Structures are given as C-alpha cells and as structure tokens.
C-alpha cells in the first residue's frame, strides 16, 4: 500500500492480477495513465471515472514513481489484447480489420 495526496494505491494479487488500483474503486493506475497518454485531461479522467482530483493525482504520482514497471504492464496488456484480437475471426472483427486497413491506406497517401 502506498499513500499519495491522502489516497491509498493498493495492490492485491486477487484484484486485476495485482495491478495497482485506487482504493475504494475498481480503477487501476493503468486506466488513468492510458487515458492521460491518449490525451484526456486529468479533470476529464476524474469526471469519467467518478474520481476526485486527489485520486487522479495519486494515480499519476504512483505512476511517476513506478514508471518502468507500470509501462511494462501496460505494454504487456496491449500485446495480449492485440494477440486476442488477431485470433477473433468473427464478422465484426473482420470488418474492423478492413476498416483499419482502409484508414491506414488513406493516411499513407
């Protein structure tokens, strides 16, 4: 357990495979960081996840103190999602792959 801005960031192997979460929520530090890295302002993240400003600040501070570990976990999660998506042969998944290819070819021009 770590405390930042009066907020506990906890890790429990039985919750989200031990990923750090904001105590009292089912929101991981990874969730907050990924949203912020995608360009979402911290205030928007707080509103979207129904968090206080201090809870978002605590997640970001935890991230900055544990950046290499959290970045590795985020990358591993992204690889696993991509792997599972590549195995999905449903019509919707096939359609989404076609849309992605078309978008990529338009951007390359």
Could you report the per-residue pLDDT of 31-63, keeping only the tens digit for each?
Answer: 999 999 999 999 999 999 999 999 999 999 999
Q: Which pLDDT band, with edges at 50, 70 and 90, does 79 fall under?
A: very high
Task: Check: CB of residue 7 under 8 Å from CB of residue 22.
Answer: yes
What are the sequence ranges of the domains in the chain?
2-108
**Cα–Cα distance, 95 to 59 (Å, whole number):** 36
SS3 category, 7 = strand
Least reliable range by pLDDT among 4-8, 40-44, 103-107:
103-107
Sign of CA dihedral 5, 31, 75, 13: positive
User: CATH topology for 2-108?
Assistant: Arc Repressor Mutant, subunit A (1.10.10)
**Cα–Cα distance, 59 to 64 (Å, whole number):** 9
Q: Which pLDDT band, with edges at 50, 70 and 90, does 105 fall under?
A: confident
Residue 81 has pLDDT above 70, yes or no: yes
**Cα–Cα distance, 104 to 23 (Å, whole number):** 40
What is the reported pTM?
0.78
């Amino acid at each position: 357990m770590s405390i930042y801005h009066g907020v506990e960031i906890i890790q429990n192997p039985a919750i989200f495979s031990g990923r750090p979460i904001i105590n009292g929520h089912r929101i991981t530090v990874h969730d907050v960081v990924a949203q912020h890295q995608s360009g979402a302002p911290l205030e928007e993240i707080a509103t979207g996840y129904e968090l206080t400003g201090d809870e978002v600040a605590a997640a970001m501070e935890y991230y900055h103190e544990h950046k290499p570990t959290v970045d590795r976990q985020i990358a591993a999660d992204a690889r696993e999602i991509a792997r599972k998506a590549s195995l999905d042969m449903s019509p919707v998944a096939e359609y989404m792959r076609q849309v992605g290819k078309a978008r990529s070819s338009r951007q390359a021009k």
